[in-house]
Structure 1
Amino acid sequence: MHNSAATASNNNTQYQNRLFVYEVKGLSQNGNTNSLNYPIRRSGSVFITVPYHRMNQEMRRITRLGGQIVSIKPLNDDVVSEVNGTSQHRDFVSRGNLGTSHGQSNQPKQQPQAQSKSMTQTKAKKADVPVNIYRPKNPYIGKCTEIYDLVEEGGIGTCRHMTFDLSGGDLYYVEGQSIGIIPPGTDDKGNSHKLRLYSIASTRHGDAMDDKTVSLCVRKLEYQHPETGELVEGVCSTYLCNLKPGDDVAITGPVGKEMLLPDDEDANIIMMATGTGIAPFRAYLWRMFKEGDLNPDYNFKGLAWLFFGIPTSPNILYKEDLEKLEKDYPDNFRLTYAISREQKNSEGGRMYIQHRIAEYADQLWELMQNPKTHTYICGLKGMEGGIDEALTGAAAKHGVNWDEYRKQMKKEHRWHVETY
C-alpha cells in the first residue's frame, strides 16, 4: 500500500526531537498562571517546554491567558542546556502540565530552522498517553457539533455518531482510549448520575482533522422489563442519542491503555467487533488509511483485518466508509461480516462472529505466529468464548494449547480485549 504520508515522512527527520521551547511574553503572575506552574520572570518572559503533540493546545492556552508567543525553537535531543555548560537535564511535560527549564538561562541551543509542518504530526508513545485530564468533579464542558444516525432504514435499534468540540479546553487523546460522559440530572435516590465510559471513534486529530473534536458511536439501550413488560431506556445512551448540535456535554478522561495501537508500521492488526465495538477500530482504520499528510510518522504497511458482527445489513455501522477502504486498499485491508439474521453458519444456524473466526481460524493462527501481529476484541463479552473455541482447534493442529498461547500473547502485549 502507498500512503501519501510516506513522502512526507522521508522529509521529516528534523522532527525527531520532540520538545520545543516557547518564549512567551505578556503573562502576569496570578492565580491562573500559578496553577499552571508558570514561573514569570521580572522581564515578563517565560520559557515553556512543550512536547510536539501538545503544541496546538498550548498555543490556545497561552492565548487565553493573555500571552504572546515571541518565538518557538526546537530543543535538541529533548535536553535543555544551561549557558554556562555546567549541567544538562531533561524537562518533560505530561497530562497538560507545562514544564520550564532551570538555571542561569532558559534560552535553548540554536537549532537549524525546521521545515514547516502541521503541529500535530506525531507518533503517540505509551509514555505520552494522556489519562484523566478531566475528572468527574471538574469535567470538561464541550458542545455537540454534529450527530447523525448510523442505522439505515429497516435496521434494528438506534445508533448514532456524535462529535463534541474540544477547542475550549486541554483534553486530548489517542486511538483506543475512552472518554466518560456524565448525564445531567439525578437518579432515583437523588444522587447525580455516575459517568459512563464510551470508546472513542475518532483519531487523535478528530473527524475534521483539526485536533479540535472527539467522536463517539453510541447505541441507545432499550429493552422490555422482564417482569413489568414496560420499556426501559438507558439513562446515558438515551441522553446522548437525543442530543442536538449546540447542546453542552460533560466529558471526563481520557482513560485506557489496553487498546492502544502499536507504533510499528509493519504490524498486522486483527480486529473483532460486535455492534458499537466498532468504535475504536474506526479510529484505527481512519488513522491507518485516511489521515495522509497528517501522519508522516505513521505510514501503515501491514494488514488490517476487521471481523464485524451485526444483526442485519442496515446495522452495518460506517458501511460505506469501510467498503470504500476495502476497495481502495485491497492489499492492506480485509473486511469480513457476520450478519446473524441474514447469513447461515456451517451448521445452518445464525452466523455470529465466532463462526466467521472458525472459518478463518487457520489463516488467523498463521498470522498470529508473526510477532508483529496484534489481535483486538471489542464488543459483547459473550463472543469471547466462541472465539477461544475456534482458535483452540486451529492451535491444536500444531500441537499448541490455545489458552497458554493466548496468555503468552497477552504478556507480549499482542492480545487486547475490551468487552462488556
Structure 2
Amino acid sequence: MASSISVSSTASSSALHAHRLQQPFAEAAASSSVSFNSQKQGFLTGNRLFLDSVAPKGRNGGEKVFTVRASVETAAPAAAKKQSRKNDEGLVVNTYKPKTPYIGKCLLNSKIVGDDAPGETWHMVFSTEGLVKYREGQSIGVVPPGVDQNGKPHKLRLYSIASSAPGDFGDYKTVSLCVKRLVYLNDKGEEVKGVCSNFLCDLKPGEEVSITGPVGKEMLMPTDPNATIIMLATGTGIAPFRGFLWRMFFEKHEDYKFKGLAWLFLGVPTSSSLLYVDEYERMKKIAPDNFRYDLAISREQANAKGEKMYIQTRMAEYADELWELLKKDNTFVYMCGLKGMEKGIDDIMTGLAARDGYDWAQYKKDLKKNEQWNVEVY
C-alpha cells in the first residue's frame, strides 16, 4: 500500500540503516490479533519501510514484548520530465516519407550569388498549400527523380529549411531552400554533378518536387524571447538562421516578440558569395540594439597577423565578449555549415575557458545538455 510516511534520517555507510521515527503514526496492518498502541522503530530500504511494533508491559506486571512486523510501500518519486528550452511544443515530424512524398511545385528559383562566385547558390520557394508544417530550424528531404546506377530510385537528400514557418510569402503555404550546386572532378578528372543539388538548381517555376519530412529538433529556436542567440554559419549553413531572423525581426507574432540579442557570424570565400546581406541590413535598421552581424570573407580579408579570415578567425576578435556571454544561462549557440569550423571554434574556447579555470570539453558537454550548444555540420 502507498504511504506518505516521512522518515528523518542520517547518512550511513550501512546498506540498511536503522532510522528512529520522530513521531507515532497509525498502526500498519499486521498478522496479529494483539491490539495496542506503541512507539515504532523501522528501517528503510528501497521504497519499502519495515516497521517493528514493541508492546508495553503486560497486564500482570511482567514484561511482554510483542513484535509486529508490517511492510509499508512508500511511493517512489516520479521521474521529472525534462522541460525543453526550445520551441518544440506540438512539433510535427515525418509527415511525408520517401514512398509517400508531398508533391510541391517550384514557385521561384533564383541564383543569389555573383557570376564570379566560386560556385552557384540558389534560393528556391516551393508550394506546400499549408500541408508541410515545419518550424524554424527543421529540414526537409528532397527525392530527385529517376534512378541511380543500380536502377533503384534515388535516395532523399536533406536540406535545412531557409524560411520561417510562415514562409517567404507569409501565408504558411510555402517552404524555401538555399542550395549550392555541387560540381566536382573525380579521380579520373571527369566532371561530376551532384544529383539532387543540380536537379534543384535547374528547377523552373511550375515544375514538381517530391518533398519528405519535416525532420529535426537539434536546431530549433529557443523559446526565451530575451535570449542571446549566437549563429555561426558557413555558406548555405545560413539557411536555418534566415528562418530564425525572419521570425525575430520581419514578422509579428502574438506569442513571441524578440527582445534579446541575435549575433550572426557568416563565413564565405568571396564578397560575391555573400548570402542575404540586404536582409541583414534591413534588420539592423529595424532593431539596431538587438541584431549584430559579422562577416568572414576568407579570400579577401585577413586578421592583424595576416591570417585568412575564416569564421573562427573573426570570432577570435570578439573572444572575450563571446566567452562572457557563454557563461550566461540564456545564451544559445547554433552552428551550421562546414565541419571544419568546429575545431577552430573549439581551439578559441579552450584557451578562454582554461584562463577561468574551466575545462572546455566538459563545459561544452554541459552546454549541450542544457540545449545551449547546437551543431549541424557536414
- Whether these two folds match at TM > 0.5 is yes
Identity %: 57
Q: Deviations over 1:344-370 (max 9, x none)?
A: 133312110111122211111111111
1:165 equivalenced with 2:127 (yes/no): yes
Aligned to 1:349: 307
Aligned length: 294
Aligned to 1:250: 210
In the TM superposition, what is the alpha-carbon distance from 1:391 to its structure 2 partner?
1.1
Distance 1:282 1:336 in 2: 15
Contact 2:102 2:210 survives alignment (8 Å): yes
Secondary structure of the residue aligned to 1:355 is helix
Paired residues for 1:144-159 under 5 Å: 144-159=106-121
Distance 1:125 1:383 in 2: 26
Q: Which amino acid aligns with 2:98?
A: P
Instruction: Extract structure 1 runs of 4+ deviating beyond 3 A.
Output: none
Aligned to 2:255: 297
Secondary structure of the residue aligned to 2:292 is strand
Contact 1:221 1:238 survives alignment (8 Å): yes
Distance 1:197 1:211 in 2: 21
Paired residues for 1:14-29 under 5 Å: none
Q: Which runs of 5+ in 1 are unaligned?
A: 1-123
1:222 equivalenced with 2:171 (yes/no): no
Q: Which amino acid aligns with 1:163?
A: V
Secondary structure of the residue aligned to 2:314 is helix
Secondary structure of the residue aligned to 1:374 is strand
Contact 2:368 2:374 survives alignment (8 Å): yes
Secondary structure of the residue aligned to 1:127 is coil
Aligned to 2:158: 197
Aligned to 1:275: 235
Secondary structure of the residue aligned to 1:308 is strand
Secondary structure of the residue aligned to 1:128 is coil
Say which of 113, 124, 132 aligns to 2:94: 132
Contact 2:238 2:266 survives alignment (8 Å): yes
Q: Which amino acid aligns with 2:119?
A: G
Secondary structure of the residue aligned to 2:89 is helix
Closer, same or farther: CA 298–406 of 1 in aligned 2, 3 Å: same
Distance 1:170 1:155 in 2: 36
Q: Which amino acid aligns with 1:308?
A: L
Q: Which amino acid aligns with 1:224?
A: L
Q: Which amino acid aligns with 2:108?
A: E
Distance 2:303 2:155 in 1: 40
In the TM superposition, what is the alpha-carbon distance from 1:280 to its structure 2 partner?
0.2
Paired residues for 1:56-75 under 5 Å: none
Secondary structure of the residue aligned to 1:126 is coil
In the TM superposition, what is the alpha-carbon distance from 1:397 to its structure 2 partner?
1.8
Q: Deviations over 1:306-331 (max 9, x none)?
A: 00000011111111111221233221
Q: TM-score, normalization: structure 1?
A: 0.69
In the TM superposition, what is the alpha-carbon distance from 1:127 to its structure 2 partner?
3.1
Secondary structure of the residue aligned to 1:362 is helix
Q: Which has the higher helix share?
A: 1
Q: Which runs of 5+ in 2 are unaligned?
A: 1-85
Distance 1:141 1:417 in 2: 30
In the TM superposition, what is the alpha-carbon distance from 1:274 to its structure 2 partner?
0.1
1:322 equivalenced with 2:280 (yes/no): yes
Aligned to 2:248: 288
Q: Which amino acid aligns with 1:254?
A: P
Aligned to 1:211: 172
Superposition RMSD in Å = 1.3
Closer, same or farther: CA 125–309 of 1 in aligned 2, 3 Å: closer
Contact 2:335 2:374 survives alignment (8 Å): yes
Distance 1:296 1:170 in 2: 22
Aligned to 1:398: 356
Aligned to 1:377: 335
Contact 2:139 2:216 survives alignment (8 Å): yes
Contact 2:98 2:156 survives alignment (8 Å): yes
Distance 1:362 1:407 in 2: 20
Q: Which amino acid aligns with 2:373?
A: W
Distance 1:128 1:346 in 2: 48
Q: Deviations over 1:227-252 (max 9, x none)?
A: 21121110000000000000000000
1:187 equivalenced with 2:145 (yes/no): no
Contact 2:136 2:165 survives alignment (8 Å): yes
Q: Which amino acid aligns with 1:181?
A: V
